[in-house]
């Protein structure tokens, strides 16, 4: 049977669980930089980065070289030995994460890191309750999935759920909404941790008010609650700083990382204060594959490149350039609701009156894809186009992608 695009799609439908939905039906066989190459010879600009993962571009040469070298040396020992790459990767992370975060636990996926962080904070405080925010997303595994609510379908039939605080969209002045939650639902002395995405990703690229994270920090300090910053999507230079918490100078007690950490190799991390990590006794948490030497070699290379090439500054500059372009469309397209984001983590929201307009977003994305640009969506109603190109994308390619998006918006959105 010839391996045509149609055949791959048929075989995919037959063999892959239908739960595994895709943003496009492109059949991709190779990639470099900001380009995806399909089996039928198309060259597609990638403004999604495999969902905020290939932030240095597909197959960044320094990461490829580090991985190649490690593949020829050592692949796996798990908990049977120590190995230098894990220690070096941890040192690299501790050097760039906010003040006080000085010990690392590596795992394989974001959700696994989130669940580990939940276990850790419960263990460290001896408390059970957790507070997460409506609209947040922390992963698909059972425990992680009970935390957030960016979409109802993620949570169907898996209760009971944990208490939820108000949406980050509500300005939380001095934490007053959480005070209400403490008074009505969860006494603060029972709360182990507050977990927060410093910038909402899946929930629609929502940047909270500047007072939000600092007021959470104050509240946590007042009540002995640990603050977990889930930087799985917004971390590692994406927002124009190495970590999104830096925009407000908030130091969390625990941080979860994944996605861009391996630039495409599966690796995640919990980074925490030693004073928190020390509550885990030997063997109380573990993993077979987490901290694999090949994945750790990628982590080391990613951090080196991000630091040496000032990738966060580049993300900030390209983000400003993108924002200026998008803002100019507003005058012509009344359906554009909000344009928001930080660095190269940008959401272009579409509304019909006061209702989210997912239909126009579907048409815009389809039109853009016909012309060679892959974009993602986010938000509960899928009415936000998520713009997340590689942070290394050349300006000319960024502009070319924005040209395609602009033509699709102008054609598909009512003017
Ligand atoms: C903020 C955040 N946390 C956790 C996760 C879960 O990560 P993973 O899919 O690697 O389990 C995601 C994935 O989108 C995320 O955006």
Residue 172 pLDDT exceeds 70: no
Q: Find out whether the beta carbon of 138 lies less than 6 Å from any atom of ligand 1.
A: yes
Residue % of the chain over a pLDDT of 90: 84
Distances (CA, A) of 83 to 87, 110, 264: 7, 23, 22
In SS3 terms, 342-377 reads as ECCEEEEEEEECCEECHHHHHHHHHHHHHCCEECEE
Element (H, E) at 220: helix 212-223
Q: How far is CA 403 from the centre of its chain?
A: 26
Is 137 touching ligand 1 by the criterion CB < 6 Å?
A: yes
Residue 201: helix, strand or coil by DSSP? coil
Residue 268's pLDDT is what? Answer: 98
**Does residue 31 sit in helix, strand or coil?**
strand
Pairing, β 35-38 against β 43-46: antiparallel
Is residue 1 scored above 60 in pLDDT? no
Q: Which atom of ligand 1 lies at the shortest distance from residue 141's CA?
A: 11
16-34 confidence digits (pLDDT tens): 999 999 999 999 999 999 9
For the segment 76-102, the average pLDDT, to the nearest whole number, is 97
pLDDT at 395 > cutoff 90: yes
Question: pLDDT value at position 183?
Answer: 86
pLDDT higher than 70, residue 175:
no
Residues 302 and 261 sit within 8 Å (Cβ to Cβ): yes
Q: What is the pLDDT of residues 201-210, one digit of tens each?
A: 999 999 999 9
Pocket test for ligand 1, best of 114, 259, 269 (most atoms within 8 A of CB): 259
CATH numbers and ranges of domains, the chain: 5-59+310-412 (3.90.1150.10), 74-308 (3.40.640.10)
3-state secondary structure of 59: coil
Tokens standing for 262?
A: 């391996």
Atom index in ligand 1 nearest the CA of residue 268 equals: 10
Tokens representing residue 102 in the block = 């000085």
Tens of pLDDT, residues 127-145: 988 888 888 899 988 778 7
Query: From the alpha carbon of 234, which atom of ligand 1 is closest?
Result: 1
């Amino acid at each position: 049977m010839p391996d045509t695009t149609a055949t791959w799609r048929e075989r995919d439908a037959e063999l892959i669980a239908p739960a595994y939905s895709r943003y496009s039906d492109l059949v991709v066989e190779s990639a470099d930089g900001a380009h995806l190459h399909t089996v039928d010879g198309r060259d597609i600009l990638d403004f999604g980065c495999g969902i905020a993962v290939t932030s240095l571009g597909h197959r960044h040469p320094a990461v490829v070289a580090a991985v190649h070298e490690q593949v020829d040396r050592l692949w796996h020992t798990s908990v049977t030995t120590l190995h230098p790459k894990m220690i070096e990767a941890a040192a690299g992370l501790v050097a760039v994460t906010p003040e006080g975060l000085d010990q690392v636990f590596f795992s394989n996926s974001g959700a696994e890191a989130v669940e580990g962080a939940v276990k850790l904070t419960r263990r460290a405080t001896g408390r059970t309750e957790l507070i997460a925010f409506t609209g947040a997303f922390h992963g698909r595994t059972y425990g992680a999935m009970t935390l957030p609510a960016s979409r109802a379908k993620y949570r169907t039939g898996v209760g009971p759920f944990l208490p939820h605080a108000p949406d980050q969209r509500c300005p939380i002045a001095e934490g007053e909404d959480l005070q209400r939650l403490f008074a009505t639902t969860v006494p603060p002395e029972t709360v182990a941790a507050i977990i927060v995405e410093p910038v909402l990703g899946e929930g629609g690229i929502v940047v909270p008010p500047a007072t939000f994270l600092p007021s959470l920090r104050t509240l946590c300090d007042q009540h002995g609650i640990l603050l977990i910053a889930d930087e799985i999507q917004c971390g590692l230079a994406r927002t124009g700083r190495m970590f999104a918490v830096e925009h407000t100078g908030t130091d969390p007690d625990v941080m979860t990382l994944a996605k861009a950490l391996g630039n495409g190799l599966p690796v995640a991390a919990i980074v925490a204060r030693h004073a928190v990590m020390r509550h885990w006794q030997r063997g109380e948490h573990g993993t077979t594959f987490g901290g694999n030497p090949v994945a750790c070699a990628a982590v080391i290379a990613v951090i080196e490149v991000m630091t040496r090439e000032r990738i966060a500054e580049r993300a900030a500059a390209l983000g400003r350039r993108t924002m200026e372009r998008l803002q100019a469309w507003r005058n012509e397209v009344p359906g554009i609701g909000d344009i928001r984001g930080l660095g190269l983590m940008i959401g272009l929201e579409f509304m019909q009156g006061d209702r989210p307009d997912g239909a126009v977003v579907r048409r815009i994305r389809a039109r853009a894809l016909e012309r060679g640009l892959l974009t993602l969506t986010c938000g509960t109603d899928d009415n936000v186009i998520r713009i997340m190109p590689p942070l290394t994308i050349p300006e000319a390619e960024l502009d070319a992608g924005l040209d395609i998006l602009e033509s699709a918006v102008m054609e598909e959105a009512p003017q």
